[in-house]
Protein backbone atom coordinates (compact mmCIF):
# COMPACT_ATOMS: atom_id res chain seq x y z
CA UNK A 1 0.00 0.00 0.00
CA UNK A 2 1.32 3.40 -0.97
CA UNK A 3 1.75 5.58 2.17
CA UNK A 4 0.80 8.67 0.14
CA UNK A 5 -2.61 7.26 -0.77
CA UNK A 6 -5.46 8.30 1.58
CA UNK A 7 -6.75 5.62 3.93
CA UNK A 8 -10.41 4.90 3.10
CA UNK A 9 -11.25 2.41 5.83
CA UNK A 10 -10.94 4.87 8.73
CA UNK A 11 -13.43 7.53 7.52
CA UNK A 12 -15.87 4.86 6.28
CA UNK A 13 -15.83 3.08 9.65
CA UNK A 14 -16.13 6.41 11.46
CA UNK A 15 -19.24 7.33 9.41
CA UNK A 16 -20.78 3.89 9.96
CA UNK A 17 -20.11 4.10 13.69
CA UNK A 18 -21.70 7.55 13.89
CA UNK A 19 -24.75 6.37 11.95
CA UNK A 20 -25.14 3.35 14.23
CA UNK A 21 -24.75 5.57 17.30
CA UNK A 22 -27.40 8.01 16.05
CA UNK A 23 -29.79 5.17 15.16
CA UNK A 24 -29.34 3.58 18.60
CA UNK A 25 -29.93 6.92 20.31
CA UNK A 26 -33.11 7.56 18.33
CA UNK A 27 -34.31 4.02 19.11
CA UNK A 28 -33.74 4.55 22.84
CA UNK A 29 -35.43 7.96 22.86
CA UNK A 30 -38.30 6.81 20.64
CA UNK A 31 -40.88 6.60 23.49
CA UNK A 32 -40.08 10.19 24.47
CA UNK A 33 -39.99 11.73 20.98
CA UNK A 34 -43.73 12.55 20.67
CA UNK A 35 -43.75 14.31 24.04
CA UNK A 36 -40.51 16.12 23.17
CA UNK A 37 -41.94 17.31 19.85
CA UNK A 38 -45.12 18.53 21.52
CA UNK A 39 -43.14 20.28 24.27
CA UNK A 40 -40.90 21.97 21.69
CA UNK A 41 -43.92 23.22 19.77
CA UNK A 42 -45.57 24.53 22.94
CA UNK A 43 -42.45 26.28 24.24
CA UNK A 44 -41.54 27.93 20.94
CA UNK A 45 -45.10 29.13 20.42
CA UNK A 46 -45.47 30.53 23.95
CA UNK A 47 -41.93 31.85 24.47
CA UNK A 48 -42.96 35.52 24.03
CA UNK A 49 -45.65 34.96 26.66
CA UNK A 50 -43.02 33.52 29.03
CA UNK A 51 -40.84 36.61 28.61
CA UNK A 52 -43.84 38.85 29.24
CA UNK A 53 -44.74 36.96 32.42
CA UNK A 54 -41.10 37.06 33.51
CA UNK A 55 -41.04 40.86 33.18
CA UNK A 56 -44.23 41.11 35.23
CA UNK A 57 -42.66 38.99 37.98
CA UNK A 58 -39.55 41.15 38.37
CA UNK A 59 -37.43 39.41 35.68
CA UNK A 60 -37.34 36.21 37.74
CA UNK A 61 -37.27 33.07 35.60
CA UNK A 62 -38.34 30.48 38.19
CA UNK A 63 -41.77 31.98 39.05
CA UNK A 64 -42.39 32.56 35.33
CA UNK A 65 -41.56 28.92 34.54
CA UNK A 66 -43.91 27.74 37.29
CA UNK A 67 -46.72 29.95 35.98
CA UNK A 68 -46.27 28.79 32.37
CA UNK A 69 -46.03 25.13 33.43
CA UNK A 70 -49.29 25.42 35.35
CA UNK A 71 -50.88 27.05 32.29
CA UNK A 72 -49.74 24.19 30.02
CA UNK A 73 -50.95 21.68 32.61
CA UNK A 74 -54.32 23.41 32.74
CA UNK A 75 -54.71 23.41 28.95
CA UNK A 76 -53.51 19.84 28.28
CA UNK A 77 -54.28 17.66 31.29
CA UNK A 78 -57.44 19.14 32.79
CA UNK A 79 -59.66 18.77 29.66
CA UNK A 80 -58.49 15.18 29.18
CA UNK A 81 -59.15 14.38 32.85
CA UNK A 82 -62.65 15.85 32.63
CA UNK A 83 -63.36 13.85 29.48
CA UNK A 84 -62.20 10.59 31.11
CA UNK A 85 -64.21 11.31 34.26
CA UNK A 86 -67.32 12.02 32.19
CA UNK A 87 -66.96 8.76 30.26
CA UNK A 88 -66.44 6.74 33.45
CA UNK A 89 -69.38 8.32 35.28
CA UNK A 90 -71.75 7.78 32.34
CA UNK A 91 -70.53 4.35 31.19
CA UNK A 92 -73.88 2.67 31.96
CA UNK A 93 -75.78 5.46 30.24
CA UNK A 94 -73.64 5.11 27.11
CA UNK A 95 -74.34 1.36 26.99
CA UNK A 96 -78.09 1.98 27.27
CA UNK A 97 -77.92 4.55 24.48
CA UNK A 98 -76.13 2.03 22.29
CA UNK A 99 -78.86 -0.55 22.88
CA UNK A 100 -81.59 2.00 22.16
CA UNK A 101 -79.80 3.08 18.98
CA UNK A 102 -79.84 -0.45 17.56
CA UNK A 103 -83.62 -0.66 18.12
CA UNK A 104 -84.37 2.85 16.84
CA UNK A 105 -86.30 3.27 13.57
CA UNK A 106 -86.56 6.46 11.59
CA UNK A 107 -90.01 7.63 10.47
CA UNK A 108 -90.75 8.18 6.81
CA UNK A 109 -89.18 11.34 5.35
CA UNK A 110 -91.34 14.47 5.51
CA UNK A 111 -92.50 16.13 2.33
CA UNK A 112 -90.08 19.05 2.53
CA UNK A 113 -87.08 16.73 2.17
CA UNK A 114 -87.99 15.87 -1.43
CA UNK A 115 -88.49 19.53 -2.24
CA UNK A 116 -84.91 20.47 -1.40
CA UNK A 117 -83.02 21.83 -4.43
CA UNK A 118 -80.37 19.62 -6.11
CA UNK A 119 -80.23 16.94 -3.38
CA UNK A 120 -83.92 16.53 -2.52
CA UNK A 121 -84.61 13.33 -4.46
CA UNK A 122 -81.44 11.56 -3.30
CA UNK A 123 -81.93 12.66 0.32
CA UNK A 124 -85.52 11.41 0.31
CA UNK A 125 -84.46 8.07 -1.19
CA UNK A 126 -81.63 7.62 1.33
CA UNK A 127 -83.92 8.55 4.24
CA UNK A 128 -86.61 6.12 3.08
CA UNK A 129 -84.08 3.32 2.68
CA UNK A 130 -82.67 3.94 6.16
CA UNK A 131 -86.18 4.01 7.62
CA UNK A 132 -86.95 0.69 5.92
CA UNK A 133 -83.87 -1.28 6.98
CA UNK A 134 -83.52 0.24 10.45
CA UNK A 135 -80.35 0.98 12.37
CA UNK A 136 -79.63 -2.63 13.31
CA UNK A 137 -78.91 -3.65 9.73
CA UNK A 138 -76.99 -0.43 9.18
CA UNK A 139 -74.89 -1.14 12.27
CA UNK A 140 -74.17 -4.65 10.97
CA UNK A 141 -72.97 -3.24 7.66
CA UNK A 142 -70.82 -0.61 9.37
CA UNK A 143 -69.31 -3.06 11.88
CA UNK A 144 -66.21 -3.99 9.78
CA UNK A 145 -65.46 -0.33 9.09
CA UNK A 146 -65.97 0.56 12.72
CA UNK A 147 -63.59 -2.25 13.69
CA UNK A 148 -60.89 -0.94 11.38
CA UNK A 149 -61.43 2.60 12.66
CA UNK A 150 -61.17 1.38 16.24
CA UNK A 151 -57.94 -0.48 15.50
CA UNK A 152 -56.47 2.63 13.87
CA UNK A 153 -57.56 4.81 16.78
CA UNK A 154 -56.09 2.44 19.35
CA UNK A 155 -52.83 2.08 17.41
CA UNK A 156 -52.47 5.85 17.15
CA UNK A 157 -53.24 7.06 20.65
CA UNK A 158 -53.44 3.87 22.71
CA UNK A 159 -55.47 4.06 25.89
CA UNK A 160 -56.49 7.16 27.77
CA UNK A 161 -53.89 6.34 30.39
CA UNK A 162 -51.08 6.38 27.82
CA UNK A 163 -52.26 9.74 26.47
CA UNK A 164 -52.44 11.07 30.02
CA UNK A 165 -48.85 9.97 30.67
CA UNK A 166 -47.71 11.53 27.39
CA UNK A 167 -49.35 14.82 28.35
CA UNK A 168 -47.69 14.78 31.78
CA UNK A 169 -44.34 14.09 30.13
CA UNK A 170 -44.99 16.95 27.71
CA UNK A 171 -45.63 19.29 30.63
CA UNK A 172 -42.42 18.18 32.39
CA UNK A 173 -40.32 18.63 29.26
CA UNK A 174 -41.94 22.02 28.66
CA UNK A 175 -40.84 23.13 32.12
CA UNK A 176 -37.25 22.07 31.37
CA UNK A 177 -37.27 23.91 28.05
CA UNK A 178 -38.78 27.00 29.65
CA UNK A 179 -36.05 27.06 32.29
CA UNK A 180 -33.13 26.79 29.85
CA UNK A 181 -34.64 27.93 26.57
CA UNK A 182 -31.85 30.33 25.63
CA UNK A 183 -29.19 27.67 26.09
CA UNK A 184 -31.09 25.11 24.01
CA UNK A 185 -31.78 27.68 21.28
CA UNK A 186 -28.11 28.68 21.14
CA UNK A 187 -27.11 25.03 20.81
CA UNK A 188 -29.54 24.41 17.97
CA UNK A 189 -28.34 27.54 16.16
CA UNK A 190 -24.72 26.44 16.53
CA UNK A 191 -25.69 23.02 15.16
CA UNK A 192 -27.33 24.69 12.16
CA UNK A 193 -24.23 26.85 11.65
CA UNK A 194 -22.01 23.77 11.71
CA UNK A 195 -24.18 22.11 9.08
CA UNK A 196 -24.68 24.98 6.65
CA UNK A 197 -22.88 28.07 7.88
CA UNK A 198 -24.89 31.27 8.01
CA UNK A 199 -27.60 29.77 5.81
CA UNK A 200 -28.01 26.82 8.17
CA UNK A 201 -28.30 29.15 11.16
CA UNK A 202 -30.95 31.21 9.37
CA UNK A 203 -32.79 27.96 8.62
CA UNK A 204 -33.08 27.32 12.35
CA UNK A 205 -34.55 30.79 12.86
CA UNK A 206 -37.00 30.23 10.01
CA UNK A 207 -38.01 26.90 11.55
CA UNK A 208 -38.80 28.62 14.83
CA UNK A 209 -40.91 31.23 13.05
CA UNK A 210 -42.77 28.52 11.13
CA UNK A 211 -43.47 26.57 14.34
CA UNK A 212 -44.83 29.70 15.99
CA UNK A 213 -47.00 30.50 12.98
CA UNK A 214 -48.47 26.99 12.89
CA UNK A 215 -49.07 26.90 16.64
CA UNK A 216 -50.70 30.32 16.63
CA UNK A 217 -52.77 29.77 13.52
CA UNK A 218 -53.85 26.16 14.03
CA UNK A 219 -53.58 25.60 17.77
CA UNK A 220 -55.08 28.79 19.17
CA UNK A 221 -57.84 28.87 16.56
CA UNK A 222 -58.79 25.28 17.41
CA UNK A 223 -58.66 26.06 21.13
CA UNK A 224 -60.88 29.13 20.80
CA UNK A 225 -63.39 27.36 18.55
CA UNK A 226 -63.62 24.30 20.81
CA UNK A 227 -64.01 26.40 23.98
CA UNK A 228 -66.74 28.54 22.43
CA UNK A 229 -68.42 25.46 21.00
CA UNK A 230 -68.29 23.76 24.41
CA UNK A 231 -69.84 26.84 26.03
CA UNK A 232 -72.69 26.69 23.50
CA UNK A 233 -73.23 22.98 24.20
CA UNK A 234 -73.29 23.59 27.95
CA UNK A 235 -75.77 26.46 27.64
CA UNK A 236 -78.03 24.33 25.42
CA UNK A 237 -78.00 21.61 28.09
CA UNK A 238 -76.39 18.76 26.15
CA UNK A 239 -74.71 15.88 28.01
CA UNK A 240 -71.03 14.90 27.78
CA UNK A 241 -69.87 18.47 27.23
CA UNK A 242 -66.19 17.78 28.20
CA UNK A 243 -66.01 14.79 25.83
CA UNK A 244 -67.66 16.68 22.99
CA UNK A 245 -65.39 19.68 23.58
CA UNK A 246 -62.28 17.48 23.45
CA UNK A 247 -63.57 15.81 20.28
CA UNK A 248 -64.30 19.23 18.80
CA UNK A 249 -60.76 20.35 19.58
CA UNK A 250 -59.32 17.34 17.73
CA UNK A 251 -61.59 18.02 14.73
CA UNK A 252 -60.51 21.67 14.65
CA UNK A 253 -56.83 20.69 14.90
CA UNK A 254 -57.34 18.33 11.96
CA UNK A 255 -58.91 21.23 10.00
CA UNK A 256 -62.28 19.45 9.89
CA UNK A 257 -64.02 22.19 11.83
CA UNK A 258 -66.41 22.09 14.82
CA UNK A 259 -69.42 21.35 12.61
CA UNK A 260 -68.84 17.59 12.92
CA UNK A 261 -69.80 17.89 16.59
CA UNK A 262 -72.14 20.88 16.59
CA UNK A 263 -74.32 19.78 13.65
CA UNK A 264 -75.38 16.44 15.25
CA UNK A 265 -75.99 18.33 18.50
CA UNK A 266 -78.33 20.77 16.71
CA UNK A 267 -80.11 17.84 15.04
CA UNK A 268 -80.50 16.09 18.42
CA UNK A 269 -82.03 19.20 20.01
CA UNK A 270 -84.57 19.57 17.21
CA UNK A 271 -85.33 15.85 17.41
CA UNK A 272 -85.92 16.20 21.17
CA UNK A 273 -88.51 18.97 20.60
CA UNK A 274 -86.12 21.62 21.94
CA UNK A 275 -86.47 23.88 18.93
CA UNK A 276 -85.60 27.03 20.87
CA UNK A 277 -82.27 25.69 22.11
CA UNK A 278 -81.72 24.07 18.72
CA UNK A 279 -82.09 27.42 16.98
CA UNK A 280 -79.75 29.04 19.50
CA UNK A 281 -77.12 26.34 18.99
CA UNK A 282 -77.54 26.57 15.20
CA UNK A 283 -76.78 30.30 15.21
CA UNK A 284 -73.92 29.75 17.65
CA UNK A 285 -72.51 26.93 15.50
CA UNK A 286 -72.53 29.14 12.40
CA UNK A 287 -70.61 31.83 14.29
CA UNK A 288 -68.08 29.38 15.78
CA UNK A 289 -67.66 27.44 12.53
CA UNK A 290 -66.88 30.51 10.43
CA UNK A 291 -64.67 32.45 12.82
CA UNK A 292 -61.56 30.57 11.66
CA UNK A 293 -61.82 32.35 8.30
CA UNK A 294 -60.59 35.58 9.87
CA UNK A 295 -58.95 34.42 13.12
CA UNK A 296 -56.55 31.85 11.66
CA UNK A 297 -55.01 34.10 8.94
CA UNK A 298 -54.59 36.87 11.50
CA UNK A 299 -52.74 34.58 13.92
CA UNK A 300 -50.62 32.89 11.26
CA UNK A 301 -49.28 36.21 10.05
CA UNK A 302 -48.16 37.00 13.60
CA UNK A 303 -45.52 34.27 13.24
CA UNK A 304 -44.75 34.02 9.52
CA UNK A 305 -46.38 34.84 6.20
CA UNK A 306 -47.42 31.33 5.10
CA UNK A 307 -50.13 30.29 2.61
CA UNK A 308 -53.20 28.73 4.23
CA UNK A 309 -53.19 25.93 1.65
CA UNK A 310 -49.70 24.98 2.81
CA UNK A 311 -50.87 24.79 6.42
CA UNK A 312 -53.94 22.73 5.48
CA UNK A 313 -51.90 20.26 3.43
CA UNK A 314 -49.33 19.97 6.21
CA UNK A 315 -51.96 19.26 8.89
CA UNK A 316 -53.82 16.59 6.91
CA UNK A 317 -50.72 15.02 5.35
CA UNK A 318 -48.80 15.09 8.62
CA UNK A 319 -51.63 13.40 10.50
CA UNK A 320 -51.88 10.65 7.87
CA UNK A 321 -48.11 10.15 7.82
CA UNK A 322 -47.12 10.49 11.50
CA UNK A 323 -50.35 10.16 13.48
CA UNK A 324 -51.48 12.71 16.04
CA UNK A 325 -48.08 14.31 16.43
CA UNK A 326 -48.02 14.87 12.67
CA UNK A 327 -50.75 17.48 13.11
CA UNK A 328 -47.96 19.87 14.09
CA UNK A 329 -44.97 18.16 12.48
CA UNK A 330 -46.46 18.18 8.97
CA UNK A 331 -47.17 21.94 8.75
CA UNK A 332 -43.81 22.76 10.34
CA UNK A 333 -41.87 20.64 7.83
CA UNK A 334 -43.73 22.15 4.87
CA UNK A 335 -43.45 25.65 6.30
CA UNK A 336 -39.71 25.32 6.86
CA UNK A 337 -39.21 23.92 3.34
CA UNK A 338 -41.34 26.70 1.88
CA UNK A 339 -39.58 29.49 3.77
CA UNK A 340 -36.13 28.11 2.95
CA UNK A 341 -37.00 27.76 -0.74
CA UNK A 342 -38.44 31.27 -0.80
CA UNK A 343 -35.40 32.70 0.98
CA UNK A 344 -33.04 30.87 -1.40
CA UNK A 345 -34.94 32.11 -4.49
CA UNK A 346 -35.06 35.70 -3.25
CA UNK A 347 -31.46 35.73 -2.03
CA UNK A 348 -29.36 38.29 -3.91
CA UNK A 349 -26.09 36.91 -5.29
CA UNK A 350 -22.82 38.40 -4.12
CA UNK A 351 -20.83 40.88 -6.22
CA UNK A 352 -18.31 38.19 -7.18
CA UNK A 353 -21.08 35.82 -8.32
CA UNK A 354 -22.74 38.60 -10.35
CA UNK A 355 -19.43 39.50 -12.00
CA UNK A 356 -18.74 35.82 -12.81
CA UNK A 357 -22.23 35.38 -14.31
CA UNK A 358 -21.89 38.56 -16.38
CA UNK A 359 -18.47 37.47 -17.67
CA UNK A 360 -19.90 34.10 -18.70
CA UNK A 361 -22.78 35.72 -20.59
CA UNK A 362 -20.39 38.10 -22.39
CA UNK A 363 -18.11 35.21 -23.34
CA UNK A 364 -21.01 33.29 -24.84
CA UNK A 365 -22.21 36.33 -26.79
CA UNK A 366 -18.76 37.16 -28.14
CA UNK A 367 -18.09 33.57 -29.18
CA UNK A 368 -17.89 33.43 -33.02
CA UNK A 369 -19.77 30.14 -33.37
CA UNK A 370 -22.18 30.45 -30.45
CA UNK A 371 -25.18 30.54 -32.78
CA UNK A 372 -24.08 27.58 -34.92
CA UNK A 373 -25.31 24.10 -34.09
CA UNK A 374 -22.68 21.63 -32.88
CA UNK A 375 -21.11 19.38 -35.43
CA UNK A 376 -22.59 15.94 -35.62
Please write the tens of the pLDDT for every residue from 131-164: 666 555 555 555 555 555 455 544 544 445 566 6
Q: What's the average model confidence in pLDDT over 226-248?
A: 85
Please indicate, yes or no, if residue 327 is contained in any of the structural domains: no
Instruction: Quote the number of domains for the chain.
Output: 1
Whether residue 77 is contained in a domain is answered as yes
Burial of residue 123, with CB atoms counted within 10 A of its CB: 0-12 exposed, 13-18 middle, 19 or more buried: middle
- Tell me: pLDDT of 265 over 80: yes
Residue 63: the pLDDT is: 92
Q: How does the average pLDDT of the chain come out, rounded?
A: 75
Mean pLDDT of 218-242: 86
Q: What is the pTM of this model?
A: 0.63
For residues 332 and 317, what is the distance between their CA atoms, to the nearest angstrom?
12
Query: Looking at the domain assignment, is residue 371 inside a domain?
Result: no
Q: Is residue 318 part of a domain?
A: no
**Within a domain: 148:** yes
pLDDT in tens, 271-324: 777 778 888 988 999 999 888 877 877 777 666 666 777 777 777 787 777 766
Sequence-distant (6+) residues with CB within 8 A of 317 are 326, 330, 334
Instruction: Please give the Cα distance from 243 to 266 (Å, whole number).
Output: 16
Asked, for residue 68, whether it belongs to a domain, the answer is yes
248 has a pLDDT exceeding 80: yes
Backbone phi and psi for residue 148, each to the nearest 5 degrees, phi listed first? -65, -40
Residue 277 lies in a domain: yes
Select the more confidently predicted residue: 190 or 96.
Answer: 190
Q: Which domain holds residue 29?
A: 5-302
Lowest mean pLDDT among 216-225, 235-244, 293-302, 355-364: 355-364
**Residue 74 pLDDT:** 81
Distances 120 to 52, 58, 88, 281 between C-alpha atoms, Å: 56, 65, 41, 25
Would residue 319 count as lying in a domain?
Answer: no
Amino acid sequence: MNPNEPEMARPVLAVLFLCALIAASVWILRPFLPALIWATMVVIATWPLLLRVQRRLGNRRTPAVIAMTLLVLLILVVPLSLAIATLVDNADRIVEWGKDLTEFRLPLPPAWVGELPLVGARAEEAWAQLAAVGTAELAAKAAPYAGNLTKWFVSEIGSFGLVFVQFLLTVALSAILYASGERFAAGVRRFGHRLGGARGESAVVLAGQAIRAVALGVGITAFVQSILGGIGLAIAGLPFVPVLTALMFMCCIAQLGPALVLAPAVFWLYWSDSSGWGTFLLVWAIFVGTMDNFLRPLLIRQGADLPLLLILAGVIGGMLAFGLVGIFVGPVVLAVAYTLLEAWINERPSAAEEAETAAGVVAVIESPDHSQPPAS
